[in-house]
Amino acid sequence: MQHLRVKNNHMNKTLCFDFGNTRLKCGVFEEDTFKEELVLPDDDIITIEKLLQKYQPQNSILSSVIRHNETIEIILSKNTRFHKLSHLTKLNFTAAVGKPESIGADRLALIAAAVHFYPNKNNLVIGLGSCVTYNFINKYHEFLGGAISPPLSAPRACSSAGT
């Protein structure tokens, strides 16, 4: 496959992939401005390549809580400045939990956003995915923990997803 990287002197574009238990999404950003949300049909290579051709991003990030097609990471690395969000990512908060690797990428993204948009404040961030997550971050930007519970509408979705 040839590299799709295109030099673009216009707006700096970033594709933010969010692969959750129930949906695969992609947010399109120009500079710091959110432009569009896409729901992806699958994590097939062709789907990702079409997005790269259409948006010609300079950057990409992947937050995934599922087993995804790992070739995606290779394609994104070859064609953009790519980062896979994980417990190893340098973030704008500290995690005073025993096993930081147990914090899902989805929760890391929510916590980082709370600290970014509401700095120096105590934050309770509630994530509504296949499960409901509660995340507490104090005004010193320390993630002190949280909880995961099944949603009221589908209590079995959480346990069957393994989260």
Cα(75)–Cα(52) distance, integer angstroms: 9
Residue 158 half-sphere exposure toward CB, CA atoms < 13 A? 14
Tell me if residue 32 is catalytic. no
CA distance to 39, 112, 138, 151, per residue, from 144 (Å): 32, 13, 7, 22
- Using DSSP's 3-state secondary structure scheme, residue 145 falls into strand
Q: Which residues are catalytic?
A: 106
